[in-house]
C-alpha cells in the first residue's frame, strides 16, 4: 500500500513527526511557502478561479506567519496538510464543479485528504487549454504586478498538472521568471525570445512529468524491488566514488520518497524531497565533486539542480572490470547466504564503472549474473563455468549497441520522415489494433528520441535512447493497463521491466490479428487532403494512408507500398487541381482502392 509510510530503524526520523505549519514556513521562507500553498490549492480544487485561491493562500499564510514566531495556538499544533484541507473544507463548494467536496470533507484525516487526491482530474484535457497572452502583454503584466503575474502562471500549471511534485512546479516557476526577465529587456524581440525559450521550458516540464509518472508506473507494476534496482544503478552511475553503504541508504530514501509522491500526498512528498536534498548536501563531499554548486542554492531550488547534474568522474583507482565476481568461487557462498545483497552489490559495482550503459542494460546484466550463479554454483568446476559466462553478458550489451548504431545510421541517411515511415512499417503489424492517430503519435515520439539521442556524445547515446524509449513504452503500457490490445503487448508490458524495450523490438506481426475487409469507405478522401498544402500536413495524410494500408495487409511488401503510395499521391495531385475536389475523389477514390486490391491481392467485402 503506497499510502503506508514504512519506518526503518535509524532512518527517516522526520517521517514520524509531521511537519507543522510554522516549521514549514520557517523552512521555506515567506514567498516559497505562499507559492507552495497556491500549488496545493490549485492541484486539489482545479476549477476554482485564481482569485479564490489567492484568498485561501492569504489566510493560510497569516496562520503560518504567526506559528513561525513560536505561537502556541491550536492551529500551530496542526500539520500543513490539516491546515490546507481545513481551508479547502471551510466553505461549501459548488456541487456541479465538485460533486465529491461534501463527502470528502465529512471524512477525517488522512482519509479526507486521500479522498481529494482520488478525485483529482488527471486527464490531459480535463482543464481547457491555456490561452497565453501576447509577449508584450506578459512583459507589461510582469512589470506592473510581479506577484499576481507569477501567481497566475503557477496556478495555471498546477491545476493542469495535479500530480506533479510541488518542488518541480517551483523549479518551473523560477525558470519561467528568468525567461520573462530576459525576454522583456527588448520589446522588439520579446515575441521571438519567448517563442524559443518557452518551447524548451515546456519540453523540460513534459520530461519532468514523464519521469515522475514513470517512477510511479514502475512502483505500481513491477513493485519496490525493481524500483530499488533502477535507482541503485542510476545513483551509482551519478556518484561513482560514493561507498556502497551510502548509495544504499540514499536509494532507500529515494524509493520511499517515490512511494510518498505517487500516493498523491504532495505535502509529505515535498517534506521527503527536502529531507533527501538536505541529506544529500550534508554528504556532498563523500558523494560527488559536482554537488557543491547545487547545495549553495536556496533550499527549494536544490533538488531540481541535483537531479540534473552530470555523473561524477570515475575514481582513478577504480578497476575497469569487476573480476572479484567472476574469478572468485566465494561468490557462490555469498549468493547462498544472501542472494539479494550480493546482486545489489554487483549492480552497484558494475553501474559505477559503466556510465555509458542504460539502466535497462544494467538491470539485464544483473539478471544475467543471477542466472549465471544459479547455473555455475551447482557445477563441479565453478570457476571455468563463471569464466565462460562473462561472454554471455557481453553479447547482451553488444546487441543493444548494434541496434542503436543501425537506427542512428538509418536516420542520418534517410531523414526523419522516411525513418518514421520505416518504423510505421515495423510497428503497425505488431500492434495493428491501436488507432491510426495513436500509432503515428507513438512513432513520432520514437523518431524524436532518435533525432535527439543520436546527436549526443557517444558515451551518452545508450542511456539517452533506451531511457527515453523506456518512458514511451511504459506510458503506452500504462494507458492499456488491464485491456491490452493483444497478447503480445500484454506479455511485453507485464513480463519484465528490464526487458520491456527489447521485447517490443523483437516482436513480429500479431498472429491473432484479422485484417478488416476493404470497403469503399475504409479510406476517407476528403477536401481536407487538399488543404494539406504544407509539408507537415501532407506528410500526416501520407502516414495515415500508409498505416491504414498496412492494417489491411500487415505483410505488405516494400515495393507494393511504394507503388500504392505513388498512386495515392497521383490521385491527390489530380483531384486537388480539379474544380470540384469531392466529385473527383468520388470517382478516383474507388479506382485507387480497386488498384490497391489488385496490387496486394485483397478481396473486397461483398
User: pLDDT per residue over 183-226, tens digit each?
Assistant: 999 888 999 999 999 999 998 998 898 999 999 999 999 999 99
User: d(Cα 37, Cα 31) in Å, to the nearest integer?
Assistant: 10
User: d(Cα 419, Cα 431) in Å, to the nearest integer?
Assistant: 18
Write the pLDDT tens digit of every residue in 293-305: 999 998 888 888 9
pLDDT of residue 573: 87
Q: How confident is the model at residue 402 (pLDDT cuts 50, 70, 90)?
A: very high
Q: How confident is the model at residue 58 (pLDDT cuts 50, 70, 90)?
A: very high
pLDDT at 534 over 90: no
pLDDT of residue 532: 63
pLDDT at 531 over 80: no
pLDDT at 252 over 80: yes
Q: How confident is the model at residue 533 (pLDDT cuts 50, 70, 90)?
A: low
Least confident of 10-19, 407-416, 442-451, 559-568: 10-19
Neighbours of 538 (CB within 10 A): 15
pLDDT at 14 over 80: no
Using a 10 angstrom Cβ sphere, with 0-12 exposed, 13-18 middle and 19 or more buried, the burial of residue 342 is: buried
Residue (of 340, 351, 356, 344) closest to 241 by Cα position: 351
Q: Are 430 and 488 in contact (CB under 8 A)?
A: yes
Cα torsion for 534, 540, 546, 548, to the nearest 10°? -130
Percent of the chain with pLDDT over 90: 62
Using a 10 angstrom Cβ sphere, with 0-12 exposed, 13-18 middle and 19 or more buried, the burial of residue 27 is: middle
pLDDT of residue 16: 44
Q: Are 266 and 285 in contact (CB under 8 A)?
A: no
Cα torsion for 335, 341, 344, 349, to the nearest 10°? -80
More confident residue, 1 or 51: 51
Residue (of 231, 238, 249, 230) closest to 291 by Cα position: 238
pLDDT at 553 over 90: no
- Dig out the grid coordinates for 406 from the structure: 543501425
Once rounded to an integer, what is the mean pLDDT over residues 550-566? 87
Backbone angles phi, psi at 513, to 5 degrees: -75, 130
Kind plus residue range of the DSSP H or E element containing 175: helix 166-183
* CB burial readout 7-26, b (16+ within 10 A) else e: eeeeebeebeebbbbbbbbb
Residue (of 299, 236, 304, 223) closest to 262 by Cα position: 223
Write the pLDDT tens digit of every residue in 83-114: 999 999 998 888 888 999 999 999 998 899 98
Once rounded to an integer, what is the mean pLDDT over residues 12-26? 69
pLDDT of residue 268: 84
Q: Which CATH class is domain 402-506?
A: mainly alpha
Q: Which residue has the cell 506578459?
A: 138
Q: How confident is the model at residue 241 (pLDDT cuts 50, 70, 90)?
A: very high
502-511: long-range contacts, CB 8 A cutoff, minimum separation 24? 502/360, 502/364, 502/399, 502/400, 504/430, 504/473, 505/403, 507/430, 508/429, 508/430, 509/429, 509/430, 509/432, 509/554, 509/555, 510/429, 510/430, 510/431, 510/432, 510/433, 510/486, 510/554
Percent of the chain with pLDDT over 70: 96
Residue (of 269, 253, 156, 155) closest to 212 by Cα position: 269
* Residues 6+ positions from 594 with CB-CB distance below 8 Å: none
* DSSP structural state of residue 19: P
Greatest Cα pair distance, the chain, in angstroms, is 85
Using a 10 angstrom Cβ sphere, with 0-12 exposed, 13-18 middle and 19 or more buried, the burial of residue 107 is: middle
pLDDT of residue 430: 95
Least confident of 63-67, 172-176, 503-507, 565-569: 565-569
Q: Are 105 and 113 in contact (CB under 8 A)?
A: no
CATH fold group of domain 528-600 = Serum Albumin; Chain A, Domain 1 (1.10.246)
- Dig out the grid coordinates for 161 from the structure: 498538472
More confident residue, 93 or 504: 504
Q: Are 507 and 430 in contact (CB under 8 A)?
A: yes
Residue (of 308, 356, 321) closest to 466 by Cα position: 356
- Dig out the grid coordinates for 488 from the structure: 503480445
Once rounded to an integer, what is the mean pLDDT over residues 514-539? 77
Least confident of 166-180, 283-297, 514-528: 514-528
Once rounded to an integer, what is the mean pLDDT over residues 422-443? 94
Write the pLDDT tens digit of every residue in 343-359: 999 999 999 999 999 99
- What are the start and end residues of each CATH 1.10.246.10 domain in the chain? 13-185, 402-506
Q: How confident is the model at residue 526 (pLDDT cuts 50, 70, 90)?
A: confident
443 SS3 class: helix
* DSSP structural state of residue 130: P
* DSSP structural state of residue 329: T
20 SS3 class: strand
Q: How confident is the model at residue 8 (pLDDT cuts 50, 70, 90)?
A: very low
pLDDT at 264 over 90: no
| Four-way CATH pick for 13-185: 1.10.3720.10, 1.10.246.10, 1.20.1560.10, 3.40.120.10 | 1.10.246.10
User: d(Cα 132, Cα 151) in Å, to the nearest integer?
Assistant: 14
pLDDT at 538 over 90: no
What sign has the CA pseudo-torsion 35, 40, 42, 48? negative
pLDDT of residue 602: 65
Q: Which residue has the cell 470540384?
A: 580
User: d(Cα 251, Cα 520) in Å, to the nearest integer?
Assistant: 58
pLDDT at 592 over 90: no
Mean residue pLDDT of the chain comes to 89
Least confident of 33-37, 201-205, 518-522: 518-522
DSSP calls for 267-314: HHHHHHHHHHHHHHHHTHHHH-TTSHHHHTS-HHHHHHHHHHSPPPPP
pLDDT at 464 over 50: yes
Is the backbone peptide bond immediately before 110 cis, with ω within 30 degrees of 0?
yes
User: d(Cα 353, Cα 498) in Å, to the nearest integer?
Assistant: 19
Least confident of 41-50, 129-138, 405-414: 129-138
327 is in an annotated binding site: no
Q: How confident is the model at residue 167 (pLDDT cuts 50, 70, 90)?
A: confident
pLDDT of residue 234: 97
Least confident of 148-152, 413-417, 537-541: 537-541
Amino acid at each position: 500500500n503506497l499510502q503506508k509510510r514504512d519506518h526503518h530503524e535509524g532512518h527517516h526520523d522526520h517521517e514520524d513527526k509531521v511537519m507543522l505549519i510554522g516549521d514549514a514556513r520557517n523552512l521555506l521562507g515567506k514567498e516559497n511557502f505562499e507559492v507552495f500553498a497556491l500549488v496545493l490549492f490549485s492541484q486539489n480544487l482545479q476549477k476554482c478561479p485564481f482569485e479564490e485561491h489567492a484568498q485561501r493562500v492569504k489566510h493560510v499564510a497569516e496562520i503560518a506567519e504567526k506559528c513561525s514566531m513560536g505561537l502556541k495556538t491550536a492551529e500551530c499544533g496542526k500539520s500543513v496538510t490539516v491546515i490546507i484541507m481545513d481551508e479547502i473544507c471551510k466553505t461549501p463548494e459548488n456541487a456541479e464543479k465538485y460533486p465529491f467536496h461534501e463527502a470528502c470533507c465529512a471524512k477525517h484525516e488522512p482519509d479526507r485528504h486521500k479522498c481529494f487526491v482520488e478525485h483529482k482530474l488527471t486527464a490531459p484535457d480535463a482543464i481547457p487549454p491555456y490561452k497565453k497572452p501576447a509577449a508584450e502583454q506578459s512583459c507589461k503584466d510582469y512589470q506592473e504586478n510581479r506577484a499576481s503575474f507569477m501567481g497566475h502562471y503557477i496556478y495555471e500549471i498546477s491545476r493542469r498538472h495535479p500530480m506533479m511534485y510541488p518542488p518541480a512546479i517551483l523549479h518551473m516557476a523560477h525558470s519561467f521568471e528568468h525567461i520573462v526577465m530576459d525576454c522583456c529587456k527588448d520589446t522588439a524581440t520579446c515575441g521571438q525570445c519567448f517563442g524559443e525559450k518557452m518551447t524548451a521550458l515546456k519540453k523540460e516540464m513534459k520530461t519532468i512529468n514523464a519521469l515522475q509518472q514513470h517512477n510511479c508506473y514502475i512502483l505500481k507494476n513491477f513493485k519496490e524491488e525493481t524500483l530499488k534496482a533502477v535507482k541503485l544503478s542510476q545513483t551509482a552511475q551519478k556518484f561513482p566514488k560514493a561507498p556502497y553503504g551510502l548509495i544504499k541508504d540514499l536509494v532507500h530514501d529515494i524509493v520511499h520518497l517515490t512511494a510518498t509522491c505517487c500516493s498523491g500526498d504532495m505535502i509529505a512528498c515535498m517534506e521527503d524531497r527536502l529531507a533527501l536534498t538536505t541529506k544529500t548536501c550534508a554528504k556532498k563531499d563523500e558523494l560527488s565533486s559536482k554537488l557543491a554548486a547545487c547545495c549553495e542554492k536556496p533550499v527549494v531550488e536544490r533538488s531540481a539542480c541535483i537531479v540534473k547534474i552530470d555523473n561524477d568522474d570515475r575514481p582513478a583507482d577504480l578497476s575497469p572490470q569487476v573480476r572479484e565476481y567472476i574469478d572468485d568461487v566465494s561468490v557462490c557462498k555469498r549468493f547462498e547466504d544472501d542472494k539479494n545483497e550480493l546482486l545489489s552489490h554487483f549492480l552497484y559495482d558494475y553501474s559505477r564503472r559503466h556510465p555509458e550503459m542504460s539502466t535497462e542494460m544494467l538491470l539485464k546484466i544483473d539478471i544475467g549474473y543471477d542466472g549465471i550463479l544459479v547455473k555455475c554454483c551447482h557445477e563441479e568446476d565453478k570457476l571455468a563455468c563463471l569464466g565462460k559466462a562473462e561472454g554471455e553478458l557481453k553479447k547482451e550489451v553488444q546487441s543493444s549497441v548494434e541496434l542503436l548504431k543501425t537506427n542512428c545510421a538509418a536516420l542520418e541517411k534517410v531523414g526523419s520522415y522516411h525513418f518514421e515511415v520505416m518504423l510505421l512499417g515495423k510497428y503497425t503489424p505488431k500492434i495493428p489494433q491501436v488507432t491510426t492517430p495513436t500509432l503515428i503519435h507513438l512513432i513520432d515520439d520514437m523518431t524524436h528520441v532518435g533525432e535527439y539521442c543520436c546527436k549526443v556524445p557517444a558515451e551518452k547515446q545508450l542511456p539517452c535512447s533506451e531511457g527515453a524509449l523506456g518512458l514511451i513504452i511504459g506510458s503506452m503500457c500504462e494507458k492499456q493497463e488491464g485491456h491490452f490490445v493483444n497478447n503480445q503487448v500484454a506479455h511485453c508490458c507485464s513480463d519484465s521491466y528490464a526487458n520491456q524495450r527489447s521485447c517490443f523490438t523483437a516482436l513480429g506481426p500479431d498472429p491473432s490479428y484479422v485484417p478488416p475487409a476493404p470497403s469503399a469507405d475504409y479510406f476517407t478522401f476528403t477536401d481536407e487532403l487538399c488543404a494539406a498544402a504544407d509539408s507537415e500536413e501532407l506528410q500526416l495524410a501520407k502516414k495515415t494512408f500508409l498505416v491504414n494500408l498496412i492494417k489491411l495487409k500487415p505483410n505488405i511488401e516494400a515495393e507494393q507500398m511504394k507503388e500504392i503510395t505513388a498512386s495515392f499521391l497521383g490521385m491527390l495531385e489530380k483531384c486537388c487541381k480539379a474544380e470540384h475536389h469531392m466529385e473527383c475523389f468520388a470517382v478516383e477514390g474507388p479506382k485507387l482502392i480497386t488498384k490497391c486490391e489488385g496490387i496486394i491481392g485483397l478481396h473486397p467485402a461483398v
